[in-house]
């Protein structure tokens, strides 16, 4: 899908722009937006309102054909009450436009909705919001089907008509497209089957995007991980025939001396639970246990494509969690890269075991902050469902500030998180009689004790943990990767770079 921006003004009136279709807004109560009025030359749109064909309720649409005009069709789109167009109203309007565009008998269209109509938002927010929604309609997950799903038809070329087509709006469009590309990559990786999307495949993908958008890349193999003494990470890969990979991506957009933001993504390409084997039902969904890694790859690709003036490093520990004669046993004690020992009481709590060594590795970059992203606990789904990502940090001034930044980025991009506690009391549950800590804390507060475990490896820097177990993919009929939390992460990074 191809996007561009054009200006309209008094010399270059809306009604003179040629296209197959132009989408314009209408407010609740039937009030035409300015661009709709400009197109209502023969009163056809006013008649449509008068006859009750459209009221302006958010998300409703009416397609009007107009032979002989510059724009052959007008798509009226409801935005809701003019004095209170909400984020939700705007998103629902764009979703409706997207639906109509995707099976229109035309390949080009214009969008002339009032981009500054949303309360408290500006045109930049509108552009960043609408591009991923329009792109979603052409996303397909049929690369492995011999007969493809319906071939994408409809509108492929969209021009945004804005009052001011300046360098700032063009810059925002470029950023929005980069984020949509990152979402595509992460969703595609998440949806791939675990026999294709292996740790080696993730490493190859990392090298490919590094080449394409200009990132530094390094992939460490088992020997190098042994030399680094990543005993915890390596214990998870023991049962697998797939070699583990430790991926490092670097974007140097800031000054050489500037401390980088480090993103760490859980890359379990399949989680059987290991010897603490998971039940069979729905186990296929554990192919999504690399969605943290995919979100880091998608974010790094977007950051590179945007040429963001910020230093960002992505770290991905990738392996499979499999049972076999060589697999780690419950009761095994391993030594992490930090030197802390861990009694593995449940081999299914493997995410924290690979992350703790990656978090220790992150120290060498003297980071401004470290954010880890992981499909870490089923308990997080119990706590927050599928709406909010779980956000965990320590509770001090610096961490409250980081948490607030991430929460705000989530709200801006409609990829929200909810903050959870990390407190000493929960740490009691990680006590082991034989090692520095156990890798599980028992049934109560499972997502919090998992975060408490990670916290012990992050004391040298400012850190946040995102548990995306409930938000990274959808089950059932709509089964598929969501690409979350890329919108939140990219918004956070853009704000850090430009805010
Ligand atoms: N990858 C899972 C977490 C998960 C489970 C995400 C279901 C999404 C849906 C993780 O490795 C895991 O198995 N966690 C265990 C931890 C437990 C053994 C302490 C869990 O949540 O059951
Ligand atoms: Mn597990
Ligand atoms: Zn897992």
The pLDDT of residue 188 is above 90: yes
Range 129-146 average pLDDT: 96
Q: What are the phi and psi torsion angles at 274 (to 5°)?
A: 75, -145
Residues 6+ away with beta carbon under 8 Å from 79: 25, 26, 27, 28, 33, 56, 58, 85, 89, 90, 93, 113, 114, 117
Average pLDDT over residues 139-158: 91
pTM: 0.98
pLDDT tens per residue, range 285-331: 999 999 999 999 999 999 999 999 999 999 999 999 999 999 999 99
Answer yes or no: is pLDDT of 152 > 80: no
How much is the average pLDDT of 384-403? 98
Q: How far is the CA of 376 from the centre of ligand 2 (A)?
A: 8
Kindly state the average pLDDT of the residues 419-423.
97
Mutate to test the pocket of ligand 1, among 277, 377, 453, 473 (most ligand atoms within 8 A of CB): 377
Residues in the 5 Å CB sphere of ion ligand 3: 268, 271, 289, 351
The whole-number pLDDT of residue 443 equals 96
| Residue 253: pLDDT over 90 | yes
Residue 471 has pLDDT above 80, yes or no: yes
Q: What is the pLDDT of residue 153?
A: 85
- pLDDT-derived band of residue 9, with 50, 70 and 90 as boundaries? confident
Per residue in 101-110, pLDDT (tens digit) is 999 999 999 9
Alpha helices in 111-262 (DSSP H): 123-136, 167-191, 199-213, 222-227, 231-237
- Enter the tokens of residue 398: 């610096």
- Ligand 1 pocket, CB under 6 A: 271, 289, 346, 348-351, 375-379, 440, 446, 469
Region 210-215: what's the mean pLDDT?
A: 98
- Domain annotation for the chain: domains and CATH numbers: 2-163 (3.40.220.10), 176-498 (3.40.630.10)
pLDDT band with cut points at 50, 70 and 90 for residue 161:
very high
Helix H or strand E encompassing 48: helix 44-50
């Amino acid at each position: 899908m191809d996007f561009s921006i054009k200006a309209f003004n008094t010399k270059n009136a809306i009604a003179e722009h040629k296209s197959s279709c132009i989408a314009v807004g209408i407010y609740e109560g039937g009030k035409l937006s300015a661009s709709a009025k400009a197109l209502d030359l023969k009163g056809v749109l006013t008649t449509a309102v008068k006859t009750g064909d459209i009221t302006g309720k958010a998300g409703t649409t009416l397609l009007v054909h107009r032979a002989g005009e510059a724009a052959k069709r007008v798509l009226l789109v409801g935005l809701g009450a003019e004095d209170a167009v909400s984020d939700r109203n705007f998103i629902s309007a764009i979703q409706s436009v997207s639906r109509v565009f995707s099976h229109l008998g035309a390949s080009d269209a214009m969008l002339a909705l009032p981009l500054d109509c949303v309360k408290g938002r500006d045109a930049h927010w509108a552009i960043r919001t609408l591009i991923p929604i329009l792109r979603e309609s052409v996303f397909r997950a049929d690369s492995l089907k011999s007969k493809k799903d319906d071939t994408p038809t409809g509108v492929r070329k969209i021009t945004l008509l804005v009052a001011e087509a300046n360098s700032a709006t063009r810059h925002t469009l470029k950023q929005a497209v980069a984020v949509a590309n990152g979402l595509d990559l992460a969703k595609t990786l998440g949806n791939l089957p675990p026999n294709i999307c292996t740790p080696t495949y993730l490493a190859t993908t990392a090298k490919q995007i590094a080449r394409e958008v200009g990132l530094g890349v390094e992939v460490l193999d088992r020997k190098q991980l042994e030399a680094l003494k990543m005993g915890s990470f390596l214990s998870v890969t023991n049962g697998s025939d797939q070699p583990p990979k430790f991926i490092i991506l670097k974007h140097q957009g800031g000054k050489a001396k500037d401390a980088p933001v480090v993103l760490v993504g859980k890359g379990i390409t399949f989680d059987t639970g290991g010897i603490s084997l998971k039940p069979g039902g729905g186990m296929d969904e554990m192919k999504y246990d690399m969605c943290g890694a995919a979100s880091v790859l998608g974010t790094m690709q977007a950051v590179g494509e945007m040429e963001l003036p910020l230093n960002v490093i992505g770290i991905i520990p990738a392996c499979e969690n499999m049972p076999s004669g060589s697999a780690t046993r419950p009761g095994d004690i391993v030594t992490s890269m930090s030197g802390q020992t861990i009694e593995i009481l449940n081999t299914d709590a493997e995410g924290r075991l690979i992350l703790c060594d990656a978090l220790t590795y992150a120290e060498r970059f003297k980071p401004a902050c470290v954010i880890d992203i992981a499909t870490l606990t089923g308990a997080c789904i119990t706590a927050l469902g599928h709406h909010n990502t779980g956000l965990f940090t320590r509770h001090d001034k610096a961490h409250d500030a980081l948490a607030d930044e991430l929460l705000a980025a989530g709200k801006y991009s409609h990829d929200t998180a909810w903050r959870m506690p990390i407190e000493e009391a929960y740490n009691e549950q990680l006590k082991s009689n034989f090692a520095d800590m156990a890798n599980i804390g028992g049934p109560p507060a499972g997502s919090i004790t998992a975060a408490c475990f990670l916290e012990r490896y992050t004391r040298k820097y400012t850190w946040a943990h995102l548990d995306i177990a409930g938000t990274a993919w959808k089950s059932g009929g709509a089964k598929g990767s969501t690409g979350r939390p890329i919108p939140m992460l990219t918004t956070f990074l853009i704000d850090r770079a430009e805010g």
